[in-house]
Structure 1
Amino acid sequence: MSSSPRSGALSRYTVLDATRVRAGPTAVRLFADMGARVIKLEIPPGAPGGDDMIGGRDHNRADYENLHRNKESLTLNMKEPEGVAILHELVKKADVFVENYRPDVKHRLGIGPDTLRAINPRLVYASISGFGQDGPYAGWPGFDSIAQGMGGLMSVTGKPEDGPMRVGIPIADLCAGHFCAMGVLAALLDREATGEGQWVQTSLLESQIAMLDFQAAQWLIDRKVPGQHGNEHPLTVPTGVFETQDGYLNIAAIGQTMWVRLCESLGLAQLVNEPGFGADPERVANRDRVNAAIGSALRTRTTADWTQRLLKAGVPCGPIHTIDKVFDDPQVKHLEMQWPMQHPELGDIALVGQPMRLSRHPRTAPAKPAPQQGDDTDAILRELGYSDPRIAELRAAVVV
C-alpha cells in the first residue's frame, strides 16, 4: 500500500490493527514505533459495539494517546458485507493482521485466518485471546486480573497475611502483547525463507504462566508450591525493601560475598559470624532476625546516603521511586524514556518511550499522535480506488 515515506527498522511493513483494550494495542504499538504503517480499524460512529473499554479515548485520554501513537485510523463496520469487502482489499497488500476478539467472533464475521490468508498467503495473522483459541475456557472473556489469578501470579505476590495480590500493572495484558509481537516478527522472518505467512497465537493465560519463570520451575521440577514473600526474595536473604531515615531502599545482597559487604558497610561486621546467619539457607530460615538486625542500622541514614555508600561497596541497591520521581531520575532522563510530543489539542505532552535501541535506527519521538476516530478513512479508501461519491455512500450506510 502506498503511504507517506516512513523510516525505521519495520518501515517496509503494513499492519492492520483490529485490536482493542490493551494486549493487542501493546503488540501493534511496537510496529508503529519502529516505522511500520499501522492502520487501526475502528467501529464507525453509529454502529453498535464501539470501543467503550479500557484504553478508549473517552475513558483515559493519557492511556489512549500512549497506546495508539503513530497509527492511522480507518472506520470500518466489519459486520457489513461491504465492510468485509474493504478489509479484503486491505489484506491483499498488508503484511500483518492482528486481532484480539473472542475466538469465535472472527469466524462469525468471516475474517478468520483461513479466510484472510486465502486472499493473501503471505499474510501473518496474529490472535491474542484470554485463554487460547480452543479448549474448555476458550469462550471465557479474558481480563488481566483474571489471568493474573488463574496463572498463579497473585498467589506469589504480596504478603501471606494479605491474601492474593494483583500486580500494580496489567502485566498479563502487556506480556501477551509483547509475546504476540515477538511471534509476529518470527513469522515475518520465516516468511522470508518460505514465502508464506502463518497464524500466530498467544493468550493472557499462557503469557502469564510463561512469566512465572523460576516460581513455576519450583513446582514443575521440585514439586514445591511457592508462596508469598512480599517484597523479599524467596530464596536469598537479605533481599527486599528496608526503611531508611527518609524513605525506603531496595537491597539485593545475594550470596555470601554481598552479605559480607553489606554487613561491613552497615558497621555490623559481627553479623557475618552470627549463629544462623552463615549462608543463604540459614539466613532464609532466620529471615526475621536478619532483617531486624540490618533494618535498625538502615534507619539511621537517608536513602541517598545509603545508596551511595552501598554501591561504593559493591552491594546492589536503589531507591524506590514514585512515578513522578522515576521520570525525574538522572539516569532515566539520560535514557530518554520520556518521549516529547506536540499534540494538536493537548499541547506539549510526553509518552512512555520504547526500551529497545537499534544502532542503525535511532529511537525517535512519535511522529504522529493517536488518531481521532476515522481520521484517515477517506485517504485510505482513495488508495484502494474508491471515489469520493462512493465513500459518501459508504458513510451514509454506516459501512465506514
Structure 2
Amino acid sequence: MSMSLEGLKILDLTRVLAGPYCTMILADLGAEVIKVEAPGGSDETRDWGPPFQHGVSAYYLCANRNKKSITIDLKSSSGIHYLKELVKESDVIVNNFKSGTMERFGLDYQTLSTLNPSIIYASITGFGETGPYKDMPGYDFIIQAMSGLMSITGSPESGPQKVGIAITDVLTGLYTCIGIQAALLERQQSGKGQKIDISLYDTAVSSLVNVASNYLMSGQNPKSLGNNHPNIVPYQTFKTEDKDIVIAVGNDAQFKRLCHILQLDDLLNDNRFRTNASRVQHRDILIPLLQESLILQPADYWIKALQEEKIPCGPIQTIDKLPKDPQLQSREMFVSMHHQTAGPIKLIGNPLKFSRTPITYRHAPPNPGEHNTDYIHLKGD
C-alpha cells in the first residue's frame, strides 16, 4: 500500500521539538527521513527526563518515530563531505541551528542549492534569519513570553502563564511541514527548490488569531481571562456539584436550549442576554446566574442533559483517562511499537486519517547511528 509522501528523501538536522515534530509528520506520511546527529547523538531530548525506559527518554520518543538515524561529525571535513553527498540525492533538508551556523559549516542554502538546485531547504530559528533579534537564542518558554501568549493565558489571580506544552514548537513544526509540502508542490511546476525561513516568534504571533485581531480593531490591550472566552459567552468552565465541566455555547439557539435545561427560561426575556454580543457585555451578571443552577447537580448529570440537546460540553479529563477513552481508541490514537533499546513503547498516534494512503508506523524512534550502514556514503566510516 502506497503512502502519501513515499519516494521523498528528507535530511533532518534538527533537535528538541519543532524540527523533529515536523519531520516526524513527514515520516508518518511516508517520506524517508534521515535523522543526522553528531556521533553519540546530539538531540538534547535524549537526556531530558525522567521518565526513561531502559535509558531512553519519553521526550525523545514523542517526536522521532519512522526515522532512520546516522551520525556525522559536521565539524570535520569528511562529515561535511558525507552530508553534501546525501544532499545531492535528497529532496528536503531541515535544520534548526542558530542563525549563521549552517553558513559556518558551509551548508547554507546557496552552497547546497548549487549541488542540488531542486533542494527544499527549511531553516527553523527562534526569531528568523533577518531582523535585530536574529542572533538571539529562542526557546519555547521565552517565545511564549515575548509573543504576548503568556499575557493572555492564566487568570488575573494567577498572573501570566505558559501553555502546558511547548505550543510554539508544535505550531512551528506544523507550519514548517505545511511550507515544505507547498514548496514541493511548486517544484513540480518550476523544477526549482527554495529556502523556507521560519521562526518560533513569527509563528507564536500568528497563533494569536482573534485575540490579536481584537486588539488591532479596538486598540484595547487584551487581558487574561482564565478559562473564559473574549468573544463568546457563555464559553468557559463551570462548577457542578462534584467537579468542573466546560460548556461552550456557540450561538443564540444553543443559549436558548441551555436556559431551558437549567430552568432559567426567564433569562431569554432579558435584553441583556438576547444575543452573544449583549451576553459578552453583561457576562459579569449572566455567569453567576448560570452557576447557581449548575452547582445543584453533578457533572455527569449536566453533561448527559447538555449532550442530548447538542450543546457543546465536556469533562476536564486528566491525561490518564485518555488511553481508555473509547473515541480515541476507535481512532487509533495510541499505538505500540518496539524500540531496539527501550523495548515495547506506547506513542501518541497521528491524527491524519487517509482513505487510500494511510499513515503507517514502520520504525521506532532510532538510536544514534542505528542506520549508518544502510547508507552507502557512510559505509566503513
TM over 0.5: yes
1:11 aligns with 2:1: no
Amino acid at match of 2:101: V
Q: Deviations over 1:48-84 (max 9, x none)?
A: xx6363x225535112112111111111011111110
1:346 aligns with 2:337: no
- The number of residue pairs the alignment matches comes to 375
Amino acid at match of 1:32: A
- CA distance in 2 between counterparts of 1:166 and 1:298 reads 29
- CA distance in 1 between counterparts of 2:43 and 2:348 reads 23
Q: Which runs of 5+ in 2 are unaligned?
A: 51-56
Structure 1 stretch displaced more, 10-19 or 233-242 = 233-242
Q: Equivalent residue of 1:315, what SS?
A: coil
Report runs of 4+ in structure 1 exceeding 4 Å deviation. none
1:26 aligns with 2:21: yes
**Counterparts of 1:303-314 in structure 2 under 5 Å?**
303-314=299-310
Q: 2:320 aligns with which of 318, 324, 329?
A: 324
Instruction: Name 2:30's counterpart in structure 1.
Output: 35
Shift of 1:7: 4.4
Shift of 1:237: 1.4
Q: Equivalent residue of 1:111, what SS?
A: coil
- CA distance in 2 between counterparts of 1:105 and 1:266 reads 61
- CA distance in 1 between counterparts of 2:132 and 2:340 reads 47
1:56 aligns with 2:51: no
Instruction: Name 1:301's counterpart in structure 2.
Output: 297
- CA distance in 2 between counterparts of 1:294 and 1:85 reads 68
- CA distance in 1 between counterparts of 2:370 and 2:24 reads 18
- CA distance in 2 between counterparts of 1:232 and 1:166 reads 16
- CA distance in 2 between counterparts of 1:331 and 1:339 reads 14
Q: Deviations over 1:217-270 (max 9, x none)?
A: 112233232211110111221110011223221111133222111010112212
- CA contact under 8 A between 2:306 and 2:313: conserved in structure 1? yes
Shift of 1:276: 3.3
Amino acid at match of 1:148: Q
Instruction: Name 1:133's counterpart in structure 2.
Output: 129
Instruction: Name 1:236's counterpart in structure 2.
Output: 232
Shift of 1:285: 3.1
1:219 aligns with 2:209: no
State the identity %: 39
Instruction: Name 2:275's counterpart in structure 1.
Output: 279
Q: 2:256 aligns with which of 231, 237, 260?
A: 260
- CA distance in 1 between counterparts of 2:133 and 2:113 reads 26
Q: Deviations over 1:277-313 (max 9, x none)?
A: 3333332233233221111222222222211111211
Amino acid at match of 2:225: H
Instruction: Name 1:206's counterpart in structure 2.
Output: 202
Q: Equivalent residue of 1:324, what SS?
A: helix
Amino acid at match of 2:19: G
- CA distance in 2 between counterparts of 1:279 and 1:341 reads 51
- CA contact under 8 A between 2:333 and 2:348: conserved in structure 1? yes
Q: Deviations over 1:294-343 (max 9, x none)?
A: 11222222222211111211211111111111222111111111112233
- CA contact under 8 A between 2:373 and 2:379: conserved in structure 1? no
Using a 3 Å threshold, how does the CA distance of structure 1 residues 204 and 101 change in structure 2: closer, same or farther? same
Structure 1 stretch displaced more, 214-223 or 136-145 = 214-223
Q: Deviations over 1:369-393 (max 9, x none)?
A: 111111111221xx23x653xx2xx
1:178 aligns with 2:174: yes
- CA distance in 1 between counterparts of 2:339 and 2:70 reads 20
Shift of 1:192: 0.6
Shift of 1:160: 1.9
Q: 2:184 aligns with which of 188, 207, 220?
A: 188
Amino acid at match of 2:39: P
Amino acid at match of 1:119: L
Using a 3 Å threshold, how does the CA distance of structure 1 residues 85 and 173 change in structure 2: closer, same or farther? same
Amino acid at match of 1:316: P
Instruction: Name 2:363's counterpart in structure 1.
Output: 368
**Counterparts of 1:12-161 in structure 2 under 5 Å?**
12-45=7-40, 51=42, 53=44, 55-57=45-47, 59=49, 61-161=57-157
Structure 1 stretch displaced more, 280-289 or 352-361 = 280-289
Structure 1 stretch displaced more, 77-86 or 314-323 = 314-323
- CA distance in 2 between counterparts of 1:247 and 1:328 reads 20
- CA contact under 8 A between 2:7 and 2:31: conserved in structure 1? yes
Shift of 1:193: 0.6
Q: Equivalent residue of 2:296, what SS?
A: coil
- CA distance in 2 between counterparts of 1:20 and 1:274 reads 56
